[in-house]
Amino acid sequence: MGPDGAGADGAGAAKAGRKCARQGSVLVFPDGDHGQPCCRWSSLHGARLGGDGGVGHPLAQLGGWWCFHRHGCAAVCRAKPRRRPPLPARVEHAIRPDDIHCSATRLVCLENTHNLAGGRVLSRSQTQDVRDLCDAHGLLLHIDGARLANAAVALDTTMAELAAPAHSATLCLSKGLGAPCGSLLAGSTDFIARALRLRKMLGGAMRQTGVVAAAGVYALEHNVRRMKQDHRLCARLREGFLSIPGMPKPAEADTNILLFDLPPSHDPERYTQHLEEHHGILISSARYGRQLRAVTHLHLEEADIDAVLDATEAFLAK
């Protein structure tokens, strides 16, 4: 329960970290938006905090780092991210040389599961292929594992197994795991020491680490395997949409995120407003075009899926 800025990171944080990844040390953050810039700084600036300018750039998928965190990457880390699909050949093509005319590539980031791809998963072998490429070019590999538990459940493996090829990894405790708040950053002892220094610079000397870690430990011990239910409900929602006349075919769903569209004659914004105001159902935009995003979680049951399908069918019938 002591302040982890004074070295009292707490047994709870260590226990939570051991459950998510085989890494040397773990640091607790209020959320991933706080943890990600600390991770990037620690990776890109190496052993010297406040290192030289032009530290290079990370390569990331079209995910959280690119869409939601890139301004923080530039402002805090003095780095410019570039996006590429997680295919070794495409990643290798995007690696910049150590040339005086441009910033060199230093870090590759993979998101697992991938939010904007509809919760799609990366296997251990896919991640290892990218790690092998990173080793060949002297790069670091980070896994943005906000929903790593969902990937582990979908692949019937462990988070530690999926994170093993990476130099560092993050895990959100408050998404599919259902904790009130919290995010973990795992990496080597030196890596976490650098991240801790930046977290302090950004206003993060946490005296509540034990509380956050306790909720995270409970979630990791009780809410991981039950995620299969979330995935089943997501699959059922997809099947239900397929049975509604005129409804476009939704995207494939590996885990608990479903991307879908409405018929061209119906406005997505009016649809989401209607479901929220009249049925108490929250469905969000998928950020691009007309596509929508539904996420199943531990507070939902089969009756809730039926309610979404009934409300959608009634809306489209108007």
Query: 149 burial class (0-12, 13-18, 19+ CB within 10 angstroms)?
Result: buried
Q: Above pLDDT 70, what percent of the chain?
A: 77
pTM assigned to the model = 0.85
**pLDDT exceeds cutoff 90 at 46:** no
Q: What is the mean pLDDT of residues 187-201?
A: 88
Q: What is the mean pLDDT of residues 100-124?
A: 87
Question: What tens digit of pLDDT does each residue of 231-273 get?
Answer: 999 999 999 999 999 999 999 999 999 999 999 999 999 999 9
